[in-house]
């Protein structure tokens, strides 16, 4: 076994109830423990509940980040997506787990806003800021 | 439209082609090499997808294959192989 091979640490950082956590593949975690010569404790009970919480938090953070990136307020995005502003507020605070259809409505609305933003930026940068590089969205 | 798969004559080849494209689309979302993804992998438990990624993968599949995947189907299809079957059904449909 080649213990000197450099490990590529592919992980995600999340915040849950005020504490920072790192999520990484179990096989990678096992390899890190092996190299460090430590034996991890057995996993705590209730992994399902924890994963649901993490999913809510991860969704909340990503949606809020993407909404701000396209310059929409919560109420504006809610209106465009056709959901209640209170619902979006609860989603972004990680208080509720939206169903697939609701997330899809939000993604569609954010993508549309992104397209509008790219279109308006490319028309204004060509005249107002000729030196600025434009931020290309997905085609 | 990025659809670059042509439906080959035999169903097996067709399935392989769809599986290849599904793996590529999922791999892009989860940030892992497509070769590391297997037909028996589950999106959440094995590949670490969250609910937003599930929606984005569904929308990518719809655009790539030019199909419309019903929410109920997308919500409850988790295994890569089952996603491929679902796409094939919609392509034939």
Q: Over the stretch A19-31, which tens digit does the pLDDT of each residue have?
A: 677 888 888 888 8
pLDDT for A8 equals 81
Interface confidence, given as ipTM, is 0.83
Nearest CA in chain B to A100: B75
- Cβ neighbours around B28 below 10 Å, total: 13
- How many Å apart are CA B67 and CA B72, to the nearest integer? 15
In Å, how far is A82's CA from the nearest CA of chain B?
16
**Which tokens hold the place of B5?**
């798969």
User: In this model, does residue A110 exceed pLDDT 90?
Assistant: yes
Q: Per-residue confidence at B56, pLDDT binned at 50, 70, 90?
A: very high
pTM summary value: 0.68
pLDDT-derived band at A7, boundaries 50, 70, 90: confident
Q: Which H helix or E strand runs over B16?
A: helix B11-30
Dihedral sign (CA A71, A60, A62, B21): negative
User: Which helix H or strand E contains A54, and what residues bound it?
Assistant: helix A47-69
- Chain A residues with CB under 8 Å of B56 CB are 107
In the structure, what pLDDT confidence band is assigned to residue A133 with cuts at 50, 70 and 90? very low
Q: Has residue B83 got a pLDDT over 80?
A: yes
Most confidently modeled range among A56-60, A124-128, B31-35: B31-35
Taking CA atoms, A34 is separated from A28, A42, B59, in Å, by: 10, 15, 39
Contact across the interface for B51 and A59, Cβ inside 8 Å: yes
Burial letters A36-55, b for 16+ CB under 10 A, else e? eeeeeeeeeeeeeeeeeebb
> Is B50 assigned a catalytic role?
yes
Q: Is the pLDDT of residue B71 over 50?
A: yes
Q: Is B51 on the interface with A (CB under 8 A)?
A: yes
B38 interfacial to chain A (CB closer than 8 Å): no
Diameter of chain B by CA atoms?
Answer: 36
Do the Cβ atoms of B50 and A59 come closer than 8 Å?
A: yes
């Amino acid at each position: 076994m080649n213990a000197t091979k450099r490990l590529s640490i592919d992980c995600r950082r999340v915040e849950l109830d005020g504490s920072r956590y790192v999520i990484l593949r179990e096989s990678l975690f096992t390899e890190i423990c092996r190299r460090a010569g430590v034996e991890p404790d057995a996993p705590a009970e209730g992994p399902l509940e924890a994963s649901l919480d993490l999913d809510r938090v991860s969704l909340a953070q990503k949606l809020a980040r993407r909404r701000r990136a396209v310059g929409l307020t919560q109420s504006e995005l809610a209106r465009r997506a056709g959901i209640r502003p209170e619902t979006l507020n609860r989603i972004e605070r990680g208080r509720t787990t939206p169903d697939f259809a609701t997330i899809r409505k939000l993604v569609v609305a954010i993508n549309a806003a992104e397209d509008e933003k790219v279109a308006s930026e490319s028309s204004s940068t060509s005249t107002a800021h000729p030196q600025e590089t434009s931020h290309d969205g997905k085609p | 439209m990025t659809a670059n798969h042509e439906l080959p004559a035999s169903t097996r080849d067709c399935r392989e082609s769809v599986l290849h494209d599904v793996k590529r689309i999922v791999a892009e979302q989860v940030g892992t090499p497509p070769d590391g993804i297997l037909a028996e992998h589950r999106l959440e438990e094995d590949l670490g997808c969250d609910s937003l990624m599930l929606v984005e993968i569904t929308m990518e599949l719809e655009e790539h294959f030019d199909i419309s995947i019903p929410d109920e189907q997308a919500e409850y299809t988790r295994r890569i192989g089952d996603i491929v079957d679902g796409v094939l059904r919609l392509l034939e449909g």
